[in-house]
Structure 1
Amino acid sequence: MRLPPGPPSTPVPAGTTAVPELLPDLIARIPWPRWALLVLALAVGILAVSCVICAICCCCRRHRRKPHKGKETVGLGSACGSTTTHLVQPDVDSLEPGPAGSQKWGRLQLSLQYDLGSQEIRVSLKQAADLRPEGSADPYARVSIPTRAECRHETKVHRGTLCPTFEETCSFHVPQAELGRSTLQVCLLDFKRFSDHEPLGELSLPLGAVDPQHVLERWYQLGPPGSAQPEQTGELCLSLRYVPSSGRLTVVVLEARGLSPGLAEPYVKVQLVLNQKKWKKRKTSSRRGTAAPYFNQAFSFHVPFSHIQNVDLVLAVWARGPRLRAEPVGKVLLGSRASGQPLQHWADMLAHARRPVAQWHRLRPAREVDSILALQPCLRLPVPRS
């Protein structure tokens, strides 16, 4: 079968290559009219140019330099109209540091309740917030009624926080007749092991405003520590070390400071109380002519591990006063019935067995410590005669 003859082919000159015209062929194959293709090409070109212009503008804004401070600025005070300057946030450069009195001392949440039957004021410390603008602290709270020496309480120390959660409650006996003349004082301090504790803020609340029929719970703004601090009876530095295997408790009385200059020959009595009864005692030698005596004397007691939770350690500073007789200057109570720093010191001793732990403690009034101990009289059995 023979095929019909095709169209005659164009001869190609020798030494040349035939390149087909692709673009005219593609345009010829598209079924759209020629004017529609021109409009589509124009739209694509406009879109591409717009994208390039937007990219260039973004790069220019990103690399634009900030204006110099020497250039003229428009002040809000010269603006005309009803706009006021206090409604506009000022520029950061125009802010000036405020006075020192505007420092924020933080906030404290607590609740107060007075029981008419027992005539006791119940103070519940909840939490504190924003004790410092920055940094960290080891805060604790000291609650007291300045007019009543026995009304004192210290919370435990909270490590490394400016927003401690206390959740502690203390009760003070205040007769209803004295309620209107009494003031509750709450001091927040930063715990320092070997230096004076730094005050973080203070709150004073008149108890006459307490409603006995309701529980008053709210947030209070702390103020700066008062210039008239309560009279300090001094401080005592001591070291504790306990070895559970041998039951050996070592108490090292290091030094005291802040004692009254009128006291003579101060010394320290160390006493162990077991189950609210006097058990063992020692005392240091006296030091003459100083309000900051240095003792550095160690005492060892045998306390079995089964008794360590029932033992109270009492250190009392004694000295001869104006009446030329020895009187207690102040006491420090450590053990499971202690609170605040002494309780934390006792816990650190048990947590770090076989290692001495030293710390300063504020002396408390002797009557206050005695009321907490509530010692029972020791019954002495008569010795049978031979």
Structure 2
Amino acid sequence: MGGPEPAGVEMGQPPGPPSAPAPVGTTAESGLIPGLLARIPWPRWALVAIAVAAAILTASCLLCIVCCCCRRARRRKPRDEEAVGLGSVRGATTTHLVQPEVDDVESGPGGAQQWGRLQLSLEYDFGSQEIRVGLKQAVDLRARGPGGTADPYARISLSTQAGHTHETKVHRGTLCPMFDETCCFRVPLAELPRTTLWVQVLDFKRLSGHEPLGELHLPLGTVDLQHLLELWCQLGPPGTAEAEQTGELCFSLQYVPGSGRLTVVVLEARGLSLELAEPYVKVQLMLNRRKWKTRRTSARKGTAAPYFNEAFTFLVPFSQIQSVDLVLAIWARGSRLRAEPVGKVALGTRASGQPLQHWADVLAHPRRAIAQWHRLRPTQEVDQALGLQLRRRLPLPGS
């Protein structure tokens, strides 16, 4: 009755059935991975999802690495091995049948297309013996600056009237400007066969020399002027020599509408003749085509590029600014030993070309000083445009 209990059985617990022996060769319960999985308190489907995401991320990283290596290998490959020369191809293809590069066209002879084209109209009035030159537009101009664009304008003149020129407005930031301007020149019928129309397209630079973009030389004796002509012409390369001119003048303008102060600062001149002595600048203000106020700078001796840097202030009410003409003229003593005007620049609402553009910029930006170089024009041309009458001077004794 009171015999000993079997070993391995605790007090108060009934003896269980004997455990079956584990199969030989299985590690389902004793392996490392099952032990780790058994310790993670996550469901089995979450573990499978994490494993699939890790596999996809690993495969994506490996694919990116392979693509980067392929790209680097292509870049390191020399271009000489990729390019195919015409000499290595054995066949009927020859080099003159292949379209040349752009650089080859520009550097080759006869490459007039690189300078652009110009559309203009010509009409000759046999009654008044005047020729009307209509400048329509220019296309495919070549920018000479680093920006890839230009501020073009055109200058029109005749070979028989070098002092009479017409300048168009400046068109900002374009290589295909639309000019749509017309100018007239009086040419006798007898001089028409030996007259050449000269059109020069330039890139506007406010404080430096204007860069030429192309030129057109059209002999009027080679065209039929019996009717109105409209034609496209190729621009040629810009020349180094310009038409006959008397120099250039640089000055700045500033206008304050509130106080009506118009400030003119005469800076410097260049390109004057060495034969001129003691040049100076006369600043003249005209109101309603009548002389109103006049100032002048001091004279400079022994130089063809005098530096003045003198300022003059005029009181012009805002109600009269549209009726004012500003005329700057360089005077100097020449061979006649008396001071004579070398050339003039007229600004105002009746001006044209660069002077009109400068005047418009000053009025559009009040209280701001704007400086610019201007080409001097012949005195008679400016006086005729402003309607001034020439004064008759008595000849000096011995002249």
- CA distance in 2 between partners of 1:173 and 1:96 (Å): 43
- Offset, 1:142: 0.4
1:276–1:376 CA contact under 8 A, matched in 2? no
Shift of 1:136: 0.6
User: Who is 2:134 aligned against?
Assistant: 124
Counterpart of 2:256 (choices 243, 250, 262) is 243
Amino acid at match of 2:218: L
Deviates more, 1:207-216 or 1:340-349: 207-216
**Structure 1 residues 36-115: aligned runs within 5 Å:** 69-70=80-81, 75=86, 79=90, 85-89=95-99, 99=107, 102=111, 104-115=114-125
Could you tell me the TM-score, scaled by structure 1's length?
Answer: 0.75
SS class of match (1:175): coil
Compute the displacement of 1:180 (Å): 0.9
Out of 224, 232, 239, the position equivalent to 2:237 is: 224
Give distance in 2, aligned partners of 1:97 and 1:177.
41
SS at match of 2:194: coil
State, as a whole percentage, how many aligned pairs show the same letter.
70
Cα distance change of structure 1 residues 210 and 370 upon mapping to structure 2, 3 Å threshold: farther
TM normalised by structure 2 equals 0.72
Q: CA deviation at 1:351?
A: 0.3
Query: Distance between the aligned counterparts of 1:265 and 1:137, measured in 2?
Result: 38
Is the Cα–Cα contact under 8 Å of residues 149 and 365 in structure 1 kept in the other structure?
no
Question: Whole-Å Cα distance in 2 between the matches of residues 184 and 242 of structure 1?
Answer: 38
- Residues 308-347 of structure 1 aligned to structure 2 (within 5 Å): 308-347=321-360
- Please give the alpha-carbon distance, in whole angstroms, between the structure 1 residues aligned to 2:165 and 2:96: 46
What is the aligned partner in structure 1 of residue 320 from structure 2? 307
In 2, Cα distance between equivalents of 1:96 and 1:273? 55
- Aligned-pair CA distance for 1:277: 1.7
Contact 2:383 2:389 in 1 (8 A): no
Q: How many angstroms apart in 2 are the aligned matches of 1:268 and 1:72? A: 65
> Quick check: 1:193–1:360 contact (8 Å CA) kept in 2?
yes
Is the CA contact 1:240–1:358 (under 8 Å) kept in the aligned structure 2?
A: yes
SS at match of 2:191: helix
* CA distance in 2: counterparts of 1:100 and 1:313, whole angstroms: 48
TM-superposed CA distance for 1:232, in Å, is 3.0
Q: Cα–Cα, structure 1 residues 70 and 257, in superposed 2: closer, same or farther, change >3 Å?
A: same
Please give the alpha-carbon distance, in whole angstroms, between the structure 1 residues aligned to 2:260 and 2:87.
Answer: 76
Name the SS for the 2:301 alignment partner: coil
Which runs of 5 or more structure 1 residues have no equivalent in the other structure? 1-58, 379-386
User: 1:165 & 1:324 partners in 2: Cα distance?
Assistant: 47
Distance (whole Å) between structure 1 residues aligned to residue 83 and residue 282 of structure 2: 75
Structure 2 unaligned residues grouped into runs of 5+: 1-66, 392-399
| 1:180 has 2:164 as partner | no
| 1:229 CA drift (Å) | 2.4
Counterpart amino acid of 1:229?
E
Instruction: Report the counterpart of residue 31 of structure 1 in structure 2.
Output: none
How far 1:371 sits from its partner (Å)?
A: 1.4
Number of residues paired by the alignment? 315
Please tell me whether the aligned partners of residues 114 and 211 of structure 1 are also in contact (alpha carbons under 8 angstroms).
Answer: no
Measured in 2, the distance between the counterparts of 1:138 and 1:153 equals: 17
Instruction: State the one-letter code of the partner of 2:176.
Output: C
Cα 1:255–1:174 shift into 2, 3 Å: same
Report how far residue 243 of structure 1 moved: 1.4
d(CA) in 2 for partners of 1:68 and 1:281?
A: 71
- Specify the code of the residue in structure 1 equivalent to 2:115: W
Which residue number in structure 2 is paired with residue 158 of structure 1? Answer: 171
The amino acid of 2:80's aligned partner reads K
Q: 1:325 to 1:98 in 2, by over 3 A?
A: same
Q: In the TM superposition, what is the alpha-carbon distance from 1:230 to its structure 2 partner?
A: 1.9
Q: Distance in 2 between the 1:305 and 1:100 partners? A: 57
Match in the other structure for 1:167: 180
**Shift in Å at residue 373 of structure 1?**
1.0
Q: Distance in 2 between matches of 1:79 and 1:189?
A: 49
Deviations 1:166-212 (A, max 9, x none): 11111111111111111110000001011100000000111123433
1: CA distance, partners of 2:139 / 2:385? 31
Which residue number corresponds to residue 295 of structure 2?
282
